């Protein structure tokens, strides 16, 4: 069953699987490449489009879920958002979602509010504990170390055992 979709004010009937991601439909099937595949998991904002006026991550949305709804891409803003786009140029904050992921957030502002869920974004450790553990090898004792040519001595310098660190 074809999927009907309105994109930037134009109706489309698309013969694609409903599970195909909206971003792929826009970029590959409709050649609207303004939305980018930044991460593919809704984290970066480079794929943001408006769905019935609300910002969503098009890399996550199956196109079937957009059936009968209105999609606006950055190309579509040329009609309604020209002044907005000019303002971004004036501030050198243009939709250059690719310059820097930091800017992607900035760029996506007109399409999505500063996300509340990110406002308290704190760096997450993940499994970083392993790397964070104090490095016992980095506790050089003041042994003589005349020449780097002597590999054994270099090892001695760098590999004092656990618990042998200086005070």
Partner 1 sequence: VRFVKTQREMEGRFEDVWVLVDPEDQLETWPEEAELDLVGKPATRQDGLLRTSGAARFTVDVALPGMLHARILRAPVARCRVRSADLGAARSTPGVRAVLGPDGPFTMAGDPVLTAEPAWAGEPIAAVAADTAEAAEAGLAALAVELEELPPLELEAGLNEQRFTDEPRETVRGDPDGTLAAADVRVEVECETPAHVQTPLEPHAAVARWDGDGLTAWLSTQGMFDARRELASRFGLPLDRVRVISEFIGGGFGAKQGAGVEALLAAELARAAGRPVRLAISRHEDQVVGGRRSRTRQTVTIGAKRDGALVAIELAAVVDMGVGGWIFPVDEPALSLYACPNVRTMVFPVRTSLRAQNAFRAPGVVEGVTVLEQAMDELASALGIDPLDLRRANHVDRDQRSGLPYSSKRLLACYDRAAELAGWARRDALREPQEDGLLRGMGCATQIWWGGGGPPAHATVRLDADGRALVMTGIQDIGTGTLTSARIVAAEELGLDLDRVLVRGGDTGPNLYSPVAGGSMTTPAVMPAVRSAAAKARRILLGLAADVLEISADDLTVQGGRIRSRDGALDVDVVEVTGNLGNATIDASGARGPNPDGFRVNTFGCQIAQVAVDPGTGVVRVERVVAVHDVGRIVNPLGASSQAEGGVIQGIGYALSEELVVDPTTGMPVNGHLDDYKVPTIADVPEIVVDFVDVPDANLPNLGAKGLGEPPIVPTAAAIANAFAHATGRRATALPLTPARVLEALA
Residue 68 or residue 152: which is nearer to partner 1 going by CB?
152
Q: Which of 2, 4, 9, 28 binds partner 1 (CB under 8 A)?
A: 28
Confirm if 24 and 32 have CB atoms less than 8 A apart.
Answer: no
Question: Using CB under 8 A as the criterion, what x/- string covers residues 56-85 for binding partner 1?
Answer: -----------------xxx-xx------x
According to the binding rule CB under 8 A, does residue 54 interact with partner 1? no
> Token digits for 62?
């199956």
- Work out the number of other CB atoms within 10 angstroms of the CB of residue 22: 27
- CB 160 to partner 1: min, Å: 11
Q: Which stretch binds partner 1 (CB under 8 A): 50-58, 64-72, 150-158?
A: 150-158
| Contact set for partner 1, span 114-133 (CB under 8 A) | 114-115, 118-132
Phi, psi at 56, each rounded to 5°: -140, 165
Residue 4 or residue 159: which is nearer to partner 1 going by CB?
159
Q: Which stretch binds partner 1 (CB under 8 A): 25-33, 50-58, 62-70?
A: 25-33
According to the binding rule CB under 8 A, does residue 167 interact with partner 1? no
According to the binding rule CB under 8 A, does residue 38 interact with partner 1? yes
Give the distance from CA 166 to its chain's centroid: 43
Tally of residues, the chain: 167
According to the binding rule CB under 8 A, does residue 32 interact with partner 1? yes
Q: Is 4 helix (H, G, I), strand (E, B) or coil?
A: strand
- Give the CA radius of gyration of the chain: 26
* Residue 86: partners with Cβ closer than 8 Å, 6 or more residues away: none
According to the binding rule CB under 8 A, does residue 51 interact with partner 1? no
According to the binding rule CB under 8 A, does residue 154 interact with partner 1? yes
Q: Which helix (H) or strand (E) holds 70?
A: strand 70-72
Alpha helices (runs of H) in 20-150, residue ranges in sequence order? 22-24, 77-80, 82-90, 101-107, 116-119, 129-132
How many residues in the shown chain lie near partner 1 by CB under 8 A? 72
């Amino acid at each position: 069953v074809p999927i009907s979709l309105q994109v930037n004010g134009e109706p489309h009937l698309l013969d694609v699987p409903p599970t195909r991601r909206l971003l792929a439909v826009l970029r590959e099937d409709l050649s609207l490449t303004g939305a980018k595949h930044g991460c593919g998991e809704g984290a970066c904002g480079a794929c943001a489009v408006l769905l019935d006026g609300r910002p969503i991550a098009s890399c996550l949305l199956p196109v079937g879920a957009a059936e009968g709804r209105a999609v606006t891409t950055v190309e579509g803003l040329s009609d309604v958002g020209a002044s907005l786009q000019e303002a971004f140029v004036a501030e050198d904050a243009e939709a250059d979602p690719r310059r820097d992921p930091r800017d992607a957030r900035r760029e996506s502002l007109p399409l999505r509010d500063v996300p509340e869920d990110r406002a308290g974004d704190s760096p997450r450790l993940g499994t970083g504990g392993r790397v964070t553990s104090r490095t016992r090898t980095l506790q050089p004792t003041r042994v003589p170390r005349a020449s780097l040519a002597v590999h054994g001595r270099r090892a001695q310098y760098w590999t004092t055992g656990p618990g042998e660190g200086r005070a």
